[in-house]
């Protein structure tokens, strides 16, 4: 297996770098590199810049506006955008709902929603988790009852990421209590401004308003907003989760974090010597790097497969487990590398315009935020324990 880039791939990489140098706003990349919080406008502007260049929908078929890139090009683009400090594209419409619509949606739904995802007209959020249905998603209670040309939806969703910005939500709802729990679920597309919807913020441990509760009180949803067939939503939900889990692997971002950790190791001192020369730190760093290299190769194998993520099966679960474990290991070792400088957490230092004297090195401010925020990643998208069960069942037949 030749892991070197071809001349064509080097030319593509240079094209991506030139684009990033010309188009990525310095004000946004400075925030990303400094670990500061992004605004909706920051995320919208990068979405629009990529769409204008035709590089937004890397995982879509060309006929719907996708890039047509091969696996290596996708990996190069991910690596280069992360290294340049580009924001992570909000995935809910682009990388999660769109594949479901392309495979299972009606022609009317494709024609209406896909262009609006590309041009930013619609900001989607995800209505999966409920207070009593997270990893055991099939136990969800939100009901949708048919009433003529509408479904009447009642219930509650939680942990709705960036739902405060969304004008649309894709929802799993229970439309039948017959048979197995998975057999009575449907997949609905709902306007967030429909009467009866209430959004309440959940403030995370590190002070961020990132997730929300969403309540549905007799919300009327037109039947044409049903994706696929009634009571078949579990199939579409699993297909969407395959894309979500692959995206969670976040190979490019983990590579950037690893290089940042190496920089900290060379900068911080232990008994007058660079930390990176400490045998225990060096061993931990090497372990993470080996696991990251192996995951990047697995990710490339998945992207290169003829059916790509559509038939990823347990490989997306493997990527989800390993990607989240590597991310948490990077967060933990970074925190340990900074020692006492990782202890103070000044939330205001992550906002634009904060100009007080930093506590310790300037890269210390976001370390605690990243550590605490990323405690969640081994849980969402289906907990890692659930993923291990999927792998065991599908690969080992147990």
Q: Which residues are catalytic?
A: 244
Q: How far is CA 264 from CA 284, 322, 331, 359, in A?
A: 14, 23, 12, 15
Token readout for 21 is: 């140098």
Beta carbons within 8 Å of 164's beta carbon, 6+ residues apart = 199, 201, 209, 212
With H, G, I as helix, E, B as strand and everything else as coil, classify residue 118: helix
Backbone angles phi, psi at 231, to 5 degrees: 70, 10
State how far the Cα of 100 lies from the Cα of 236, in Å rounded to an integer: 6
DSSP string, 189-237: EEETTSTTEEEEEEE-TTS-EEEEEEEEEEEEEEGGGEESSTTBHHHHH
Token readout for 309 is: 């993520």
CB atoms within 10 A of CB 272: 5
State how far the Cα of 83 lies from the Cα of 280, in Å rounded to an integer: 27
CA 316 to chain centre: 13
Beta carbons within 8 Å of 102's beta carbon, 6+ residues apart = 60, 61, 64, 110, 114
Looking only at the bridges linking them, the beta strands covering 168-174 and 124-127 are: parallel
The tokens 């790509």 sit on which residue?
A: 308
State how far the Cα of 253 lies from the Cα of 369, in Å rounded to an integer: 16
Looking only at the bridges linking them, the beta strands covering 168-174 and 150-157 are: unpaired
Are 173 and 136 a contacting pair, CB within 8 Å?
no
Torsion sign over Cα 282, 287, 289, 290: positive
- What's the length of the chain? 398
């Amino acid at each position: 297996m030749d892991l070197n880039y071809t001349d064509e791939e080097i030319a593509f990489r240079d094209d991506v770098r030139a684009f990033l140098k010309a188009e990525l706003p310095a004000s946004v990349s400075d925030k990303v590199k400094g670990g500061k919080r992004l605004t909706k406008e920051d995320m919208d502007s990068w979405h629009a810049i990529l769409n204008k260049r035709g590089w937004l929908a890397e995982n879509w078929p060309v006929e719907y506006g996708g890039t047509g890139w091969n696996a290596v090009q996708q990996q190069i683009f991910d690596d280069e955008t992360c290294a340049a400090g580009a924001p992570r594209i909000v995935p809910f419409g682009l990388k999660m709902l769109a594949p479901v619509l392309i495979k299972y949606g009606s022609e009317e739904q494709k024609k209406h929603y896909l262009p609006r995802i590309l041009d930013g007209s619609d900001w989607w959020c995800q209505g999966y988790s409920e207070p009593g249905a997270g990893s055991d998603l099939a136990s969800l209670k939100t009901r949708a009852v048919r009433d003529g040309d509408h479904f009447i939806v009642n219930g509650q969703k939680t942990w709705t990421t960036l739902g405060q910005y969304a004008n649309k939500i894709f929802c799993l709802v229970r439309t039948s209590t017959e048979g197995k729990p998975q057999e009575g679920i449907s997949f609905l597309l709902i306007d967030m401004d429909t009467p009866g919807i209430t959004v309440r913020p959940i403030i995370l441990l590190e002070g961020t308003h990132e997730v929300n509760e969403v309540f549905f009180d007799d919300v009327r949803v037109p039947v044409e907003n049903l994706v696929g067939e009634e009571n078949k939503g579990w199939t579409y939900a699993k297909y969407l989760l395959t894309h979500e889990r692959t995206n969670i692997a976040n190979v490019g971002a983990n590579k950037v974090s690893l290089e940042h950790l190496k920089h900290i190791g060379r900068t911080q001192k232990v008994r007058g010597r660079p930390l990176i020369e400490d045998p225990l730190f060096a061993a931990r760093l090497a372990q993470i790097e080996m696991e990251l290299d192996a995951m990047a190769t697995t990710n490339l194998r998945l992207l290169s497969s003829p059916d790509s993520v559509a038939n990823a099966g347990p490989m997306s679960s493997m990527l989800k487990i390993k990607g989240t474990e590597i991310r948490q290991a990077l967060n933990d070792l970074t925190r340990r590398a900074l020692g006492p400088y990782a202890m103070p957490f000044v939330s205001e230092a992550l906002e634009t315009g904060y100009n007080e004297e930093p506590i310790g090195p300037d890269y210390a401010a976001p370390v605690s935020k990243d550590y605490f925020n990323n405690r969640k990643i081994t849980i969402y998208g289906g907990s890692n324990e659930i993923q291990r069960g999927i792998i065991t069942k599908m690969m080992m037949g147990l």
